[in-house]
Amino acid sequence: MNPDLDHLQPYPFERLRELFAGITPVAGFASISLSMGEPKHSTPPFILEAYAKALSGVASYPLTAGVPELREAIAAWATRRYQLKALDPSTQVLPVAGSREGLFSFAQTVIDRSRDARVIAPNPFYQIYEGAALLAGAKPIYLPTTADDGFRMRFDSLTPAQWRNVQLVYVCTPGNPTGHVMTLDEWKQLFELSDRYGFVIASDECYSEIYFEEGKPPLGSLQAASQLGRDRYERLVMFCSLSKRSSVPGMRSGFVAGDADALKKFLLYRTYHGTAMSVAVQLASVAAWQDEAHVVENRRLYAQKFAQATPVINSRLACSIPDAAFYLWARTPIADAEYAQRLYAQKNVTELPGSYLSRDASGGNPGTGYVRIALVASPAEVADAAARIASLNLEG
């Protein structure tokens, strides 16, 4: 068997199941799950209708590169959203079966395992980056993102000798779990390092459409590149998906866009990988990318939940509304796993301990002492959960 598999860590939700094993929550509270980042808002009917209409597409094998209408719809959306000068649908866009799959398989394309290969990931982070690096034969370097630094990755904390081995950098903006959105200055620094050391940047932007003020969307990586005159997006790709934007996590529909040379290799890899998106999903995705009204409504619901729940939760767990995305990254008054256990036992609310999303690295574990609270449930459930969090008794 592949020995790299032995380096994989248990997934956070597996650890959560173990943490809660043998605990029966006190009677009288309905279960509310705020642990998983799975959107719960209802799927817009027009997406389901487009899907149903395209079902006969199952009669043929789909192309890995997707149908031209999908790549064109994605390129048009990204060009509008990020005010790009150009994004060529035939060479700079590819569909992926959800950003998770794309983020994972991209590392398998990029990493040259004949050399000492390092992959940078934020810490805390989405665990797929780590697994992708390990299974590609690379070693992860975890860059802590802490409140003291405004949850930025400190790229200047690495030495030139370390940078020389870096082949791939994962960033997540808006970040899961911190919600931090990378600024133009952060991008400038990262692009300069990429020019100097030749690494590829994989920017995970699956939360890009969940933000709080209409007309003020978070800066994207292609947008930053374009603003800095890098219109060919050298060594840069971004991943986005419909899962959070359109509340269709089960559709497994996303895209990767950016550097044409990197995507040419990625397409070759994907031909073998065999994750071509079903044509019905592709056509439903075209409809979803072409509509913004449902996304505005989706954001309105999240903003309403944040405005209602944040002050209530903040009365017990220090937290504030993030730059974007749908998580509260809240400090716990006791050890994070013990806090999550007590909340589950006494109030039947589940949250994810911060230390399950992070690794021990130099200077400690930056997830320790936090919980990630996903405001994905209905507004009524989120309000109920916030009240339960505020009334949790931690004495005794």
Ligand X SMILES: Cc1ncc(COP(=O)(O)O)c(C=O)c1O
Beta bridge partners of 257: 93, 238
The answer to whether residue 372 forms part of the interface with ligand X (CB under 6 A) is no
The answer to whether residue 366 forms part of the interface with ligand X (CB under 6 A) is no
Q: Which is nearer to ligand X, 41 or 100 (CB)?
A: 100
Site string for ligand X, 155-174 (x = CB under 6 A): -----------------x--
Q: Which is nearer to ligand X, 219 or 384 (CB)?
A: 219
Choose the stretch contacting ligand X; rule: CB under 6 A; options: 97-105, 195-203, 349-357, 385-393: 97-105
Distance (Å, rounded) from C-alpha 216 to C-alpha 235? 27
The answer to whether residue 12 forms part of the interface with ligand X (CB under 6 A) is no
Distance (Å, rounded) from C-alpha 270 to C-alpha 287? 24
How many CB atoms sit inside 10 A of residue 51's CB? Answer: 22
Q: Which is nearer to ligand X, 283 or 325 (CB)?
A: 325
Distance (Å, rounded) from C-alpha 109 to C-alpha 272? 11
Is there a contact between 388 and 366 (Cβ–Cβ < 8 Å)? no
CA dihedral 171, 172, 176, 179 (to 10 degrees): 110
For strand 370-374 and strand 352-353, is the pairing parallel, antiparallel, or unpaired?
antiparallel
Choose the stretch contacting ligand X; rule: CB under 6 A; options: 5-13, 79-87, 96-104, 364-372: 96-104
Distance (Å, rounded) from C-alpha 256 to C-alpha 260? 11
Residues of span 225-284 touching ligand X by CB under 6 A: 241, 243, 249, 254
For residue 285 the two structure tokens come to 């995705």
Distance (Å, rounded) from C-alpha 364 to C-alpha 372? 18
Q: Which is nearer to ligand X, 174 or 369 (CB)?
A: 174
Composition of the chain by helix, strand, coil, percent to 5: 45, 15, 40
The answer to whether residue 176 forms part of the interface with ligand X (CB under 6 A) is yes
Nearest approach in angstroms of CB 234 to ligand X is: 23
Nearest approach in angstroms of CB 16 to ligand X is: 14
Applying CB under 6 A, among 92, 94, 173, 204 the residue interacting with ligand X is 204
Distance (Å, rounded) from C-alpha 260 to C-alpha 65? 13
The answer to whether residue 178 forms part of the interface with ligand X (CB under 6 A) is no
Choose the stretch contacting ligand X; rule: CB under 6 A; options: 44-52, 95-103, 186-194, 286-294: 95-103
| Contacts to ligand X by CB under 6 A | 37, 98-100, 126, 172, 176, 204, 206, 241, 243, 249, 254
